[in-house]
Amino acid sequence: AQSVAQPEDQVNVAEGNPLTVKCTYSVSGNPYLFWYVQYPNRGLQFLLKYITGDNLVKGSYGFEAEFNKSQTSFHLKKPSALVSDSALYFCAVRDLYSGAGSYQLTFGKGTKLSVIP
């Protein structure tokens, strides 16, 4: 079974400072990993994904994430936070070992990011 843990319910960071939102995962095989963002009264929006290749992936709005296989982590980062980055962030995983027929994503509980002006 696949699972995702986001250990922090909330992360507060000052505008202009770097931010990190943590995610660890558990899968039987090789993972596909994703970050989604949810703004108030808006649908979930895709930010970035790791499929294979370079461990550092870049996504929308200046976000990036680093895949670390040994630590089974996929932390979301941004060098300089903006107030507009304040939102709910979800990490998700798909386990390729589940077979070609399984397309379900397993999401973490989410981390609320607050960027303080």
Partner 1 sequence: DTGVSQNPRHKITKRGQNVTFRCDPISEHNRLYWYRQTLGQGPEFLTYFQNEAQLEKSRLLSDRFSAERPKGSFSTLEIQRTEQGDSAMYLCASSLADNTGELFFGEGSRLTVL
Q: Report the distance separating Cα 32 and Cα 95, nearest Å.
A: 6
**Is 53 within 8 Å of 45 (Cβ atoms)?**
no
Check residue 104 for interaction with partner 1 (CB under 8 A).
yes
Binding mask 64-93 toward partner 1 (x if CB under 8 A, else -) reads --------------------------x-x-
Q: Report the distance separating Cα 93 and Cα 49, nearest Å.
A: 10
| Residue 61 C-beta: closest distance to partner 1, Å | 16
Among 63, 78, 85, 108, binds partner 1 (CB under 8 A): 108
| Residue 22 C-beta: closest distance to partner 1, Å | 14
Nearest to 71 by CA among 24, 2, 7: 24
Q: Report the distance separating Cα 61 and Cα 31, nearest Å.
A: 24
Check residue 109 for interaction with partner 1 (CB under 8 A).
yes
Check residue 5 for interaction with partner 1 (CB under 8 A).
no
Q: What share of the chain is helix, strand, coil (3-state, %, to 5)?
A: 10, 50, 40
Among 12, 17, 29, 42, binds partner 1 (CB under 8 A): 42
Binding site for partner 1 (CB under 8 A): 4, 32, 34, 36, 41-46, 49, 51, 90, 92, 94, 101-110
